[in-house]
Each structure stands twice: as structure tokens, then as C-alpha cells.
Amino acid sequence: MTTYRTFDHTADLGIEVYGRTRKELFGHAAEALADLLADPGTDPPDRTFRICATGEDGPDLLVNFLREILYQFHGNRLLLRQIRVTHLTKNEICAEAEGEVLDCTGGHRRREVKAVTYHQASLSRDGSGRWTARVILDV
């Protein structure tokens, strides 16, 4: 199953993410952002991190969760991967992720993502129960 796709959006970049469950959807969204930010290379992850966020509804929760991952990347140079959502309610999410601290040369970087925006952020579930989310990234 394809977990995400990108789409162009007027000087920005959109991601559309898929999951069989809401929990899987949030995990795939986190992995999509991490994949767009940097190449993890071939070294195995050397640390485990916990990421939590809150939100007023599904789209707000997703944006805040992805913003926390982006903050960890820019603020602490943490590249998160193998992200497992451990707790998810209507308004809260926590996940554990394996990852690594990037070296100062930035050799792993793929794309500069400045922000995760609320513009057109959405979560929906189709008739077969499959979840889809859309988020616009400021690049």
C-alpha cells in the first residue's frame, strides 16, 4: 500500500497520506515528513525519542504533531524514523521514534521545509474505512 504522495501547491508542497486506521495514518504522516526532510542513510538508528502533541480536532492534531517533528529536526537536529504511534485520542497523540542526531554538515538533508501549515489541512475517511489526510508544507 502506498503510504503517501506529494503534490505541488503554489510555491509550497502538499502531502496526501493514507492509512487503514487513524493511528496508522498519523504514523504514515510522520514518516512522510521525515522522508521529505532527509535521507536516513545506512546507519541504524541510535536513539529512541518520544513525541507528543495536542489539538482541538483531527486536522489541528495532525498539524501540531508534524510541527513537533519539524521542530525536533530543526531545533535539535533529530531525524526521526520508524515512528510508532503509541497513544491517540481525539485530541492527543504520543509516538515513539527511533532516530539519529544529524551531523553538522547536513549531508543527509533532502528538502528545506520551513513550516507545516493549516492551509487546507484535512482528515477524512472513505466508505471502505480508509483514512486520508492532506497537509501543505511551506518550503
The CATH number assigned to the domain holding 132 equals 3.55.10.10
State residue 104's pLDDT score.
63
Q: Using a cut of 0.75, tell me whether the model's pTM lies above it.
A: yes
DSSP 99: E
Give the Cα separation of 40 and 43 in Å (integer).
Answer: 8
Local confidence band at 24 (pLDDT 50, 70, 90 cut-offs): very high
- Print the domain residue range for 84: 4-138
The H helix count followed by the E strand count for the chain is 2, 7
Q: Which of 15, 19, 30, 4 is nearest to 98 (CA)?
A: 30
What is the number of domains present in the chain? 1
Residue pLDDT, tens place only, 37-72: 988 767 778 889 899 999 999 999 999 999 999 999
- The total number of residues shown for the chain amounts to 139
State residue 82's pLDDT score.
85
Give the Cα separation of 92 and 58 in Å (integer).
Answer: 9
Q: Are 4 and 15 in contact (CB under 8 A)?
A: yes
Residue pLDDT, tens place only, 66-114: 999 999 999 988 888 889 999 999 999 999 999 888 776 555 777 889 9
